[in-house]
Chains A and B, each alone.
Chain A
Amino acid sequence: MTRETGVDSVRGSHHRVVNHFFHDFHGEISTIIMCIGAVRDGIGGEISPPQRETLERAIDNCEQMVRLINNYRDRTQMEEGTYPRVPEEVDLSEAMRQLAVATQPFARERNVKLEIRGDGLPKVRFRAALLGRVLENLLLQVIENTPARAGVEVQARIAERKLEVRVRFEGEELDEEQAPSVFDPVRQATLGLRLGRGYTLLFCKEAISYLGGDIRITPWKGRGNELVARVAFEEQGGNETAEATDATR
Chain B
Amino acid sequence: MDKKARIYMVDDDTYLVQVVQWVFEAEGYEFFSAHCAKDALENVDKVNPDLIILDVMMEDVVAGFRVLNALRNGEDAARNARYAKVPILMFTSIQQRTKMKFSQDAGTALLPTDAFVEKPVQPKLLLEKVAELLSKR
In the assembled complex, B122 has its CB within 8 A of some CB on chain A = yes
What is the interface residue range for chain A against chain B?
A: 20 to 34
Chain A residues lying within 8 Å of B15, measured Cβ to Cβ, are: 31
- Among B16, B26, B96, B99, contact of A34 (Cβ-Cβ < 8 Å): B16
> Please, what's the 1-or-0 string for B88-106, where 1 marks a CB less than 8 Å from any CB in chain A?
0000010011010100000
Are B26's CB and A30's CB within 8 A? no
Are A38's CB and B19's CB within 8 A? yes
Are A34's CB and B13's CB within 8 A? no
Are B121's CB and A27's CB within 8 A? no
Are A38's CB and B97's CB within 8 A? no
In the assembled complex, A41 has its CB within 8 A of some CB on chain B = yes
Are B96's CB and A41's CB within 8 A? no
List which B17-69 residues lie within 8 A (CB) of chain A: 19-20, 22-23, 26, 57
Are A129's CB and B99's CB within 8 A? yes
Are A43's CB and B93's CB within 8 A? no
Are B120's CB and A33's CB within 8 A? yes
Known: A31-B15, A70-B96. Is A26-B22 also a contact (CB below 8 A)? no
* Alpha-carbon distance A63/B124, docked complex (angstroms): 15
What is the interface residue range for chain B against chain A?
A: 20 to 34
Are A23's CB and B93's CB within 8 A? yes
In the assembled complex, B74 has its CB within 8 A of some CB on chain A = no
Are A37's CB and B99's CB within 8 A? no
- Among B13, B16, B26, B57, contact of A43 (Cβ-Cβ < 8 Å): B26
- Output the least CB separation between A9 and chain B (Å): 23
Nearest A-chain residue to B57, judged by Cβ: A23
- Output the least CB separation between B18 and chain A (Å): 8
In the assembled complex, B119 has its CB within 8 A of some CB on chain A = yes
> Please, what's the 1-or-0 string for A19-42, where 1 marks a CB less than 8 Å from any CB in chain B?
100110011011111110110010
Chain A residues lying within 8 Å of B19, measured Cβ to Cβ, are: 31, 34-35, 38
Residue with the greatest number of chain B CB neighbours at <10 A, chosen from A37, A41, A63, A129: A37
- Output the least CB separation between A49 and chain B (Å): 17
Are A34's CB and B20's CB within 8 A? yes
In the assembled complex, A62 has its CB within 8 A of some CB on chain B = yes
* Alpha-carbon distance A23/B23, docked complex (angstroms): 24
Residue with the greatest number of chain B CB neighbours at <10 A, chosen from A34, A38, A43, A63: A34
Interface contacts beyond A23-B97, A34-B120: sample of 18 additional A-B pairs, CB < 8 Å, sorted by A: A22-B96, A22-B97, A26-B93, A27-B13, A27-B16, A27-B93, A30-B13, A30-B119, A31-B15, A32-B120, A34-B23, A37-B124, A38-B26, A41-B123, A43-B22, A43-B23, A70-B96, A83-B99
- B interface list, Cβ under 8 A from A: 13, 15-16, 19-20, 22-23, 26, 57, 93, 96-97, 99, 101, 119-124, 126
Q: Would you list 17 pairs from A and B whose C-beta atoms are within 8 A, ordered by A residue?
A: A19-B97, A22-B97, A23-B57, A26-B119, A27-B119, A30-B13, A30-B93, A30-B120, A31-B16, A33-B121, A34-B126, A38-B19, A38-B123, A43-B123, A63-B120, A84-B99, A129-B101
